[in-house]
Amino acid sequence: FEHRPYLSEMNAQRMLAEIDAAHRLGVDVFVIDTGWYGKTGDWLPNLERFPQGLQEIRQRLDAYGMKLGLWFNPTVAALTSQVFRQHPEYERTWQGEPGWRGEVWETEESASMCLVSGFAATFVETMVRLNRELGVTYFKWDGISQYGCDSPLHDHGTAENSSAERADCYAYELGRAMIWIVEEVSRRCPDVIVDFDVTEGGRFVGLGFLSVGKYFLIDRKSVV
């Protein structure tokens, strides 16, 4: 926008000013978009952009009686993140090759991870931690593709299944994994709300997820 980096305004000073403005408008949930973290996968505050972590943000929100929300892509992890270094087998692969790898909104290179694997449980722990440490009650999920993994190392087939069978099973089981994550987090943190962005194509859409979360959709034709 205006030829500036996407994250040019992602910093504590700007967010505090936005919170003040949101309070005057009567907003009760303030969601910080992508870039608040240092690394995907670890999901810890970026201390260059937020020198005090997000504690200052939380204090301002608490003073206004507002709640904190954060953006996530639950299917990515930075190549240098702890979870990727410990569990590279959770990476989403296609015919034996790594799936998508790249920068996530101007942050360091990440790998695409499979939620139909043990990676789902690690993300549950991340959400619970952020709820308890920072009071995050609104989780905005983004970027979850329903297709693109045929790994025999995950929970959607083994080497005894064909590549096509594993890929089809992944597409089916992904929704169930998403539902399980929200159910498990909600059991431990009853005040949590999960909102899944389905604006782009190829994303899981079904009544199952609506039983535990919400859908976020932007009509791009009406956005100026």
Q: List, for residues 101-133, the tens digit of each pLDDT value.
A: 999 999 999 999 999 999 999 999 999 999 999
Which one is predicted more confidently, 117 or 218? Answer: 117
| Alpha-carbon distances, residue 219 vs 27, 92, 129, 141, 224 (angstroms) | 22, 30, 33, 17, 10
Interatomic CA distance for residues 148 and 151, integer angstroms: 9
According to the model, what pLDDT value does residue 224 have? 41
Range from 68-77, 124-133, 169-178, 206-215 carrying the lowest mean pLDDT: 206-215
Q: List, for residues 25-67, the tens digit of each pLDDT value.
A: 999 999 999 999 999 999 999 999 999 999 999 999 999 999 9
According to the model, what pLDDT value does residue 223 have? 44
Bridge pairing between strands 109-112 and 101-103: antiparallel
pLDDT at 222 over 50: no
According to the model, what pLDDT value does residue 220 have? 59
pLDDT at 185 over 70: yes
